[in-house]
Every structure is written in structure tokens, then in C-alpha cells.
A = this chain, B = another copy of it.
């Protein structure tokens, strides 16, 4: 029997009709659908495809182990996550070996941050894998602001809020356009870095970009109003514009 195919399917920023035609087809005809989520949550990826998955599809939620009490720098953090990804891989591999195709739902684009790549690297060498790119969350965010992110020769830098503050400041100063993701509990550090880089007043924060509950707010006016966990910060470039 030939092995099934692992499909890493990018969902885009959130609106269902912003999925690609290819992703839409794969999801609507899927037999096995896997997705990451926090334990006890329905999961953002799963929420995006609500109503699209066939009733007959078998769902495989992959629930992150709780790691909030382990600092990123602690080797145990990587050990716990590595074991988790290996467990998920084993489950998916067993399906593929039986000839079943498996669709993994990926928020945004599968190869742009995210968790899919940890399954991908463990399966790509001996299983058929296809990756379907998607509209990134940041693209949804800058579209929501109603202004282009980059013009002419602008340099865009994409930064994670988990970086040290001095690294954030350096990159925020050097780039013309800036995107910050993984904000969450790093919001105060990110605000401080934007201030030190002189970019704070030009920053926007977009929550749930392209979805029904989308908000677009100047960061300087967002105090207490924004849940930063599904938010992206955008500072637009100001390059050449004939």
C-alpha cells in the first residue's frame, strides 16, 4: 500500500474566503484533520474552519503541554516540546502508513513561524508531504490598517515580541517598516522598545485581523482595550511614492 500524503495547509489570517482555492478544496474533502491548540481551548485554527470540515472527518487536536512555568531558556522547555511533537508525529505517521491523507491546519502560512514545521521536519524525509502557502497573519493586519506596509525600497523587518528588548530596539531603528508578532505577555517590553526606537507613535495594533471581531487601534490609544494574544503590531514604511 502506498503511504498517504501529509498536507500542511495554511489557513491565512482568519476569514474563510481568504483561504486559497487549494486550501478550501483540501479542507472540504479532508478525512483526517489535525490541529494544534492550547489544552482546554477550542483552538484558533479549528475555529477558522468551523463549518468547512466534513462531518465524517476524524479530528486530531494536538494539545500543547503546559510550558508557561518553564522559561524559554531552560533546556527542559525544548525537551517537553520535543517529546510532544514526537508524539504528534507518531500518531500522524501511523495514519500515513495506512494510506490515509492527513490535513494539518496551520494558522497563517505553514513555513512562517508556527508549529507545523516541527511535524514537517520529522516526516518530510520518508513520507509524501505537500505544503500549501497562505496569506500571512501580518498581511491580514496591514490590510486592516488601510495603508500599505512597504513602498519603493523600504526594508521590512519582522520581529517576535519574545526577543530581548535591546534587540527589538536595534531592529526597530534599522528597518523602515516593522511587524511585531508573538506579543502576548511581552506587550510592555514591545511598547518600551518602540518608544526607545522612536516608532511608538506610528505603531498600530490589529486584533483578529480579517475576522468579524477585528479591531485596528493606534498602539498609543490601545491601553487596556486590546487582548494582545491574537494581535499583530504594524509600523508602516514611508518610502518613495510617485
A residues lining the B interface (CB < 8 Å): 12-13, 15-22, 24-25, 72, 77-79, 81-82, 84-85, 109-113, 117-118, 120-121, 124, 131-136, 139-140, 142-143, 146-160, 162-163, 167, 170-171, 174-175, 210, 240-242
Contact = CB atoms under 8 A, between A and B. Distances in A.
Q: Which of A78, A157, A171 has the most CB of B within 10 A?
A: A157
A20 B135 contact: yes
Contact of A136 (B22, B84, B121, B136): B136
A158 B160 contact: no
A147 B124 CA distance: 10
Contact of A112 (B72, B77, B150): B150
Contact of A81 (B151, B174, B242): B242
B146 A155 contact: no
B155 A163 contact: yes
A182 B85 CA distance: 38
B150 A135 contact: no
16 contacts: A12-B20, A13-B133, A17-B20, A17-B22, A18-B133, A79-B242, A81-B242, A112-B148, A112-B150, A113-B152, A131-B146, A133-B139, A133-B142, A153-B163, A155-B158, A157-B175
Given A134-B139, A157-B156, A149 B118 contact: no
A143 B153 contact: no
A204 to B, nearest CB: 13
Nearest to A236: B111
Contacts of A19: 20-21
A111 B236 CA distance: 10
Contacts of A159: 155
Contacts of A120: 148
A143 B111 contact: yes
A111 B149 contact: yes
